[in-house]
Structure 1
């Protein structure tokens, strides 16, 4: 890391710190919601099937607590537009690995491309719920003879042929398919799950603020055991989530919690309303060790 005078010790310190924070952040973590990566037409297409599914899926109160719906463009906005731009297909694959269900409304060329990518990946194919216009069920098309037949032959994922003119009437079938796929689905836990990575980054900011982006990426890399490119995607995605929620501020000095962010941190450590809590006692212990390190005039970043 940079020009730090004792690189080996610094690396050892960061790796140990990264793992301690991870243990404290996810020790009691539990989220019973089904996480759904919803694909289809672009977010600017008013009245799209994807948009309608997003509205109808959680329309009953119980389902609002049963599902967590995520969209690639919201999570990856900064990574697609920023200086460290990465391609959407690679990013979507990281996201797909982190969810229970990949729900594809087959209504656009982009959705067809996503179906092709995910259905060709054995582990991701198991997570697919593909909603197809019933009008094209018997068409002799690449879609029917390609990815959909592969799903049928391997008995992996689910295909729902639906009335696209009345998608609301199809929600029971779609929910049934989601349930069947989610029951067999597996996803990583902790910071390596891109949907949940913000919990780890929030903890790091709380303990080390102000912290620079490079140090955050290093902490995520050590905690997740991922290569730097993936660690950067995990970190910047988490930063986007926390920025959108107004939980952090970014300045030339580094990244810091806002009053709202501090409140969020303590709520996650005490309420447990969403099924997970931080281990605040461990967090306080880590913070004391960090303060002792700082009092010995040891820098906590490499600038």
Structure 2
């Protein structure tokens, strides 16, 4: 009887993710090697017609600082989702662990769930920069009193309130 491999314990990061990181890192090889930083960007689902906050951030770093590589989970998940043993929550936890920073725009139910899931782990909570709509700043809600408060208690500057529909309108 053939044993089904348990990917959760055999490898820490999915193949597609490692391939993408390897491909990106070769562009930075020099004698004065400077290693790239990986930013995991979380926000509402990408629509081909709309410029989202995540896309603005990615384009900004592409133009102004090529030592930052922005990662979108859905771009890497397409291939890995075929592995039945791997669920999206575990997969995104891999990405979060491997990233230097997590920039999370609270724009949907999914991103609210990601915020809650990631802040459970103290090591991930410390590297989250959360962007929340200013209309929720004084809201008495689970997100404000739970995950956002946890981030604010350790790094107040990592909680940013703004009009999420116009956050990059000045650029």
Contact 1:162 / 1:170 at 8 angstroms: preserved in 2?
A: no
**Aligned residue pair count:** 142
Q: Give the structure-2-normalised TM-score.
A: 0.71
Cross-structure match for 2:79 = 78
**Shift in CA distance, 42/85, structure 1 to aligned 2, threshold 3 Å:** farther
* Deviations 1:75-134, CA, capped at 9 Å, x for gaps: 121111x25451111011111111100110110010001000111101111110101111
Higher helix fraction (1 or 2): 1
Cross-structure match for 2:43 = 40
**Shift in CA distance, 53/101, structure 1 to aligned 2, threshold 3 Å:** same
Q: Secondary structure at the match of 1:58?
A: helix
Mapped pair 1:62 → 2:64: yes
Shift of 1:169: 4.8
Q: How does 1:17-32 map to 2 (within 5 A)?
A: 30-32=33-35
After superposition, the CA RMSD in angstroms is 2.8
Contact 1:126 / 1:156 at 8 angstroms: preserved in 2?
A: no
| CA distance in 2 between partners of 1:150 and 1:112 (Å) | 14
Contact 2:115 / 2:147 at 8 angstroms: preserved in 1?
A: yes
* Deviations 1:124-179, CA, capped at 9 Å, x for gaps: 111101011112111111111111111122337711112223221577xxxxxxxx
Name structure 1 gaps, 5 residues minimum: 3-27, 172-303
| CA distance in 2 between partners of 1:96 and 1:110 (Å) | 15
* Deviations 1:16-73, CA, capped at 9 Å, x for gaps: xxxxxxxxxxxx9954322100001112373333233333x326x432x131001111
| CA distance in 2 between partners of 1:139 and 1:72 (Å) | 29
Mapped pair 1:137 → 2:140: no
| CA distance in 2 between partners of 1:120 and 1:111 (Å) | 14
Q: Secondary structure at the match of 1:102?
A: strand
**Shift in CA distance, 105/29, structure 1 to aligned 2, threshold 3 Å:** farther
- Rg comparison, structure with higher value: 1
**Shift in CA distance, 83/129, structure 1 to aligned 2, threshold 3 Å:** closer
Cross-structure match for 1:120 = 120
Contact 1:105 / 1:130 at 8 angstroms: preserved in 2?
A: yes
Q: How does 1:192-271 map to 2 (within 5 A)?
A: none
| CA distance in 2 between partners of 1:41 and 1:49 (Å) | 8
| CA distance in 2 between partners of 1:35 and 1:76 (Å) | 17
**Shift in CA distance, 78/29, structure 1 to aligned 2, threshold 3 Å:** farther
Cross-structure match for 2:108 = 108
Contact 2:40 / 2:71 at 8 angstroms: preserved in 1?
A: yes
